[in-house]
Amino acid sequence: MKKKLSIGKIVCQVFLIVWLLLCLFPLYWLLCFSLKDTQEIFSGNLIGLPTQWLWGNYSNAWNSANISLFLLNSVIDTAITLCFTSLLGFMSAYGLLRMRWRGQKAVMTYIMMGMMIPMHAALYPLTETLLPLMGTHAALIIPYTAFNIPITILIISGFITNIPYEMEEAACIDGSGIYRTAFTIILPMMIPAISTAAIFVFLQVWNELLLATVFTTGKVRTLTVGIQQMSGQYQTDYGSMGAALVIATLPTLVLYMCMSGQVQKSLIAGAVKG
């Protein structure tokens, strides 16, 4: 028997379709923007399809604007930051929540207070501390890792507390040490939570501009700084800039599509792991 569609379901479906179109519109606009020239953009054709599909904007952005080098620098900084943040965040969360020692809650509170410090407030002390590392990848990786460890611990801690202690007790009876228990038993179950934290950290690091502008020079500039430099004082190739923005957006979309399943698992995970 065919199920009858109620008015509520029809309204819900229409709302979801409209919401999907609203979410996809910025991507459509950016793609069309990247295939136009400056004259067409400012002639009033902001939303419509390009009259001429200028795929050469991508080659101009990739070669002339040196976006390929900036993209590589962003990939290096982001990848290393994700590795350090995930590893240190997991180890810190495990030590703070699964072990018992004096001052445990005080240390947890101290680390969480790091989320209250804006990056702009720490700019001057960071400049004084990281002055010898100016112009290197380490000048960005170190502060990126430090600023993102609290949010990583917060996300992981909300998941790790649901893992029953009986699993670690059973591993201890079998002769497993702390490190083996953490990395061979607990870590595999934490992949969804770590994936969720990785997406948050990726968005923060990939789109960061302030520290990248201050601490990088020459060949180690990141993608955000490279796109900013494409805006000239007297003339700007907006089509090539749009192409560079599309190139910068693609890694974010690919990462989310690859890890969205893990994020959903972290949201619906139960208290007992089989």
| CA 101 – CA 103 distance, rounded (Å) | 6
Does 2 score more than 70 pLDDT?
no
Q: What is the pLDDT of residue 274?
A: 43
Greatest Cα-to-Cα distance within the chain, rounded to the nearest angstrom: 74
What pLDDT was estimated at residue 271?
40
Residue pair 154/115 in contact (Cβ under 8 Å)? The answer is yes
Residue 184 has pLDDT above 90, yes or no: no
Helical packing angle, 67-97 and 191-206, nearest 10°: 140
Q: Mean pLDDT, to the nearest integer, of 126-152?
A: 90
Contacts of 54 (CB under 8 A, 6+ apart): 35, 36, 37, 239
**pTM to 2 decimals?**
0.83
| Per-residue pLDDT, 176 | 81
Check pLDDT > 90 for residue 79.
yes
Tell how far CA 164 is from the center of its chain: 30
- What's the DSSP call for residue 224? H
The better pLDDT of the pair 270, 125 is held by 125
Report the alpha-carbon distance of residue 113 to residue 183 in Å, rounded.
27
Question: Is pLDDT above 70 for 63?
Answer: yes
Percent of the chain whose pLDDT exceeds 70: 92
- Which of these, 162, 197, 182, lies nearest to 81 by C-alpha position? 197
The pLDDT of residue 84 is above 90: yes
Average pLDDT of the residues in 254-268: 70
Block residue for tokens 């960061």? 208
**Structural domains in the chain plus CATH codes:** 63-268 (1.10.3720.10)
| Least-confidence region, from 42-56, 148-162, 205-219 | 42-56
